[in-house]
Structure 1
Amino acid sequence: MAGRKKNIEVAKLTFEVRREGEFELWRSRSWGATDGKRAVIVDTFPNDPKNPAMTENLTDMLIFNQMQKMDMAGYHQVHLFAKQPHGNPNNRNLDSIDAEVVEQLFAELVDLAKKSDIVVMAYGSIARRLVVAEEREAQLLSVMKKAGLEENVRFLVEPDDQTKAAAPVSRKVREGGQSWLLVSDFI
């Protein structure tokens, strides 16, 4: 009886979180070559810091899986808002949630974007539903344009309706394990 061979691919996963007090500015994961392709993923909020056991959630896993499908060697996850709001997000409790670190957040996002191949806006429809999120998106896009990075920006959209922004956890985005649909001319 011949022995069975197994091909096992082992990769070192490096994880880094950049915090400023109670605010999470970004987190990075890398698993490939140091000179491999990288992405910046802009989502809505970091995980709840009051529940450190939830360092991995569904959004994180979906982003990680998608980045591997896109042959990325790593990614930086930056949040539209650097702090999780209490209760359901609305204009009232998002208005000043992280105002003291916004400039720093955007400056660090630009630095990460300059080291990356693509910047994916993956925060869904929050910028279409809430004025403060729409304003934050406009600020972010302005900063990216001033830095000369607008060519790298893509928006995650629903596969069957490219006029609808999507988040990684969107059912339509997750169906069938398909690759993300990214468009550059969303706004």
Structure 2
Amino acid sequence: MVKVDAIGQVCPVPIIMTKNALKKIEEGQVEVCVDNEISLQNLEKMSQEMGYAYNIENSGEVFRIVINKVKENVNLVEDHDNTVAVLSSQYMGDGDPELGKILMKGFIYTLTEMDFLPKTVLLYNEGVKLAVEGSESLNDLLTLETRGVEILSCGTCLNFYGITDKLKAGTITNMYTIAERQMKATKVVKP
């Protein structure tokens, strides 16, 4: 068993440390210890995406996840049309904030009306505020989610703004996944 001590590490370091440990073995177990729930959720989601079984233990302030790597497991198949929309602000473009907010709301609504949807919508920095309770764009993001669009919000950003518990559309993610989704995208759209 390979052991990874990611206690005290912040996003995306626990994910990177774990992926590096998994690369070093053909099959077996990787045990990762983290000290916050967001890192644990990120590791759980990564395990699911990679098709690996895992077990979680909570011993007070330390979370332990054991990931089982089996040779037959294969990463998700890449789609030929893998468009990613990146929303890093509540505003679209520069200039008047009021206009920028109206444009962003219109952009997200327009996505719900498109025949071809993005595969993923990434929200980071102030963009995470679009997916929380009270957002004017929340219903449109929920519509996209019900139509199969993956909605991912940066956990570090949600924590920074103190709105983690208000997230209503999509799930929490980490910087590794944000970078990975963009690198694997066939097209990145950033309004």
Q: TM-score range by the shorter chain?
A: 0.3 to 0.5
> How does the TM-score come out when normalised to structure 2?
0.32
Whichever structure has more helix as a proportion of its residues is 2
The TM-score normalised by the length of structure 1 is 0.33
